[in-house]
Amino acid sequence: MKASIQTPTMNWAARLFSEDRRFWLSASILLGAVSLLKGIRLPSRWAATQALVNYDHGLMKRGLFGAATGGWLHGERYSNFAIFSFALLLALVGMIALLILRSGMGRQIGNGEPVAVFCASFAVTYLAHLVGYMDVLVAILAIAVLLIRNASLRFAIAIPLCIAGILLHELFFVVFLPVLLLSWMVDAVRAPKQRRLYWTMAAALLLLCAGLTGKLSLKRARTVQEVSVMQAGLARRADFPVREDFFPVLSRSMKDNLRIVRDEFTYRVHFQWFAIGLVELLPTIGLLLYVVRLAVVQLVRDQARTVLTMAAFAAAVAPFAMHLQGFDVGRFNALIVVDCLLVLAVVAPRGNEGRIVLPSWYRNATVMTIALSMASGEGLMDYRGVNQYPFSAGLGGHIGDLIHHRWVPPQY
């Protein structure tokens, strides 16, 4: 007869690995931490340079951050900008976690497998890699809107936050606005008597944001001479070498970007990176969109099901359109995964709407996808690779630099 030895630690481990919901919750936290640490780095000089742009030379795209923070943040000091950028990244991580909890997707959908799929994804690694970029701040604004359950209050808060998001970076209109508009479509389904009001809110917000985006897009691009003057002034203020290749962005129109991206796709190398970026994230996108479809099917019982499914899918893959305006293949693909999670939070069943039971194959597919995500490491920006477990070298160095306030701007 074999004797079994039970200790408090063994009992805790047994509960952790035997209870599915607890296991997937713990896995999501651990995998999310690993994914973040894989991509963490100091903010790039491109991001630091972009943050200096303000309205001293008139209204221009991406100028709000520098105009709003220039007087107190002193982003011309790289260490100040780096500390603030990490604070924003931590805020984004916290808001994503809050959105997951508030939406109930960890409790109402399977045992929480979709949350683990997202947390383990290479998209989370890429979010950490984007520290300092406006993507982080505009994502915070979008999630802040989605966290508001009351549709009328959400609309009132969305107006100033959407205006700010577009002035921070024009990608807000393409990447995050579709998800926000979807939230009122879902409200109209959940409360049919208020359908006209909710559709009016969505239409009004769309018209406002389209008008502002159009004004910024059609506004005369800065001349080379104007940009040169701006560059010289910012270079004198900054305590780091500004990225000279950033400033041509301010003199390009939307038409210029379309032409440049079209020409880039004629090169084999760019198409190769485009394909690699899709391969890295397609399994994650597929699993998340599958659950979005299940949630819509459970939410809508009439003919509107197809329309809402198409709207949800369109909002989730909206960042794909950014490939027509920029070269950051992995970045835009990562934002698709982020939008898939936001869409799932919008359509996820609430407490009285029942749970979604996932098929048995989904768990197996989740395990395989997590394995692929943990192994993914190509396509980060500035020719960088992922940090390797246990992350002692990079993380320890960053902590030491923070304590001694001696962060040195990176090469890129």
**What does the pLDDT look like over 268-299, one tens digit per residue?**
666 777 788 888 899 999 999 999 999 999 99
pLDDT score, position 398: 62
Residue 48 lies in domain: 35-385
Question: What is the number of domains present in the chain?
Answer: 1
Q: What is d(CA 265, CA 242) in angstroms, rounded to the nearest whole number?
A: 28
Q: How many CA atoms lie within 13 A of 75 on its CB side?
A: 24
394 within a domain of the structure (yes/no): no
pLDDT of residue 6: 60
Within-domain flag for 403 = no
In a domain? residue 26: no
pLDDT attached to residue 278: 82
- pLDDT value of residue 326: 78
Does any domain span residue 214?
A: yes
Residues lower than pLDDT 70 in the chain: 1-16, 219-221, 265, 267-270, 393-407
Q: Residue 1: what pLDDT?
A: 47
Whether a cis peptide bond, with omega within 30° of 0, leads into 390 is: yes
Residue 232 domain-assigned (yes or no): yes
| CB within 8 Å of 88: residues ≥ 6 apart | 131, 136, 137, 140
pLDDT at 13: 67
| The two structure tokens encoding residue 85 | 């950028």
The answer to whether position 15 is within a domain reads no
In a domain, 354, yes or no: yes
Contact at 8 Å (CB) between 95 and 140? yes
Residue 158 inside a domain? The answer is yes
pLDDT (0 to 100) of residue 396: 59
